[in-house]
Amino acid sequence: MKTWELVKMAWKALGVNKLRSILTTSGITIGIFSIISVMTAIAALQTSIESGLSFLGANTFQFSKYPNGINVWGDEKYRNRRSIDYQTYLKFVRMIGDQVEVICPKVWDDSTQGVFENRKTNPNIELCGTTHDFLAANNFKISEGRNLSGEDVEFSRSVCVVGQQLVQRLFPQGHAVGETIKLNEKNYEVIGTLAEKGSSFGGNDDNLVVIPITKFFENYGSRERSLNTVSASLPAWARSCNSRRDCRTHQSFLCN
């Protein structure tokens, strides 16, 4: 039987059973578009997750007292964990020495308000006390001015690096560097601005102000605050730390 005859027979069959033919074709079409839609949604979700994780650099490890989303009033088992204070962080830095490329502490306040002259922000700024390694460990870049320095932390200077959302709100005409702003009624000189980064996991990485961690403790206190500590390119013992015994061997608080 020739191909042309098969085509004619199929065409006649479609004409005889029009309703069944329409339903079958519609079902096939809907199925194809459903598969395409699902695959597109999965690809978009993967892109969103990868973009959200981009706030950390490659080979970056972070540990803290509380998991993400748990605050000081969270689950009892987290509140009973030992806090990671600044002295513990310094001990950890001395312990690992030069085995990591970048390491920095982070302590947060998420209810900060910024004020410059007659302009102010909402009281929801993410204020981070940290060191000069914050940018490298968290994949931020400087847009204008400079980063925090070791001297800023050592001498507890009242300086800050601000995100683009604050720049747009407090300095709509630009030229933020060199100006003095208030953060929760404390004065800080703007020494730099962060390049725009966007949102990740529902948060806004541009709604951020970075200050020396020593100035953070001086102005806002260190009691009942626990650090998040970030390091990149972990030492071999940390990558293979699979038990509390391993951690105790290295005098580490990673698994407590």
Burial class for 227, CB neighbours closer than 10 Å (0-12, 13-18, 19+) = buried
Assign residue 167 a region: left if phi > 0, alpha if psi is -120 to 50, beta otherwise?
Answer: alpha
> CA nearest 100: which of 212, 211, 237?
237
Q: Closest Cα partner for 146 from 189, 181, 114?
A: 189
Is this model's pTM higher than 0.75 or not?
no
- Which of 114, 221, 212 shows the shortest CA–CA distance to 159? 212
Three-state DSSP class for residue 127: strand
Output the pLDDT for position 252: 42
Please say whether the beta carbons of 170 and 114 come within 8 A. Answer: yes
139: helix, strand or coil: coil
Structure tokens at 97: 């020495």
Residue type, 158: S
pLDDT at 222: 83
In this predicted structure, what is the pLDDT of residue 23?
Answer: 78
Radius of gyration over every alpha carbon of the chain, rounded to an integer in angstroms: 27
Residue 250 three-state SS: coil
183 neighbors 112 (Cβ within 8 angstroms)? yes
**Count of alpha carbons within 13 Å of 101, Cβ hemisphere only?**
10
Tell whether the torsion through CA atoms of 146, 147, 150 and 155 is positive or negative.
positive
Per-residue pLDDT of the chain (256 residues; tens, 9 = 90+): 577 777 777 777 766 677 777 778 788 889 898 899 888 888 877 766 665 555 555 566 777 877 765 455 556 677 777 888 888 888 888 888 777 878 889 999 988 999 999 999 999 999 999 999 999 888 899 999 999 999 999 999 999 999 999 999 999 988 899 999 999 999 999 999 999 987 665 567 899 999 999 999 999 988 778 888 776 655 555 555 544 444 444 444 444 4
In 3D, which of 131, 135, 133 has the Cα closest to residue 159?
131
What DSSP assignment string belongs to 145-164?
Answer: E----HHHHHTT--EEEE-H
Q: Looking up tokens 């033919």, which residue turns up?
A: 21
Give the DSSP letter of residue 100: S
Q: Residue 191's pLDDT is what?
A: 97
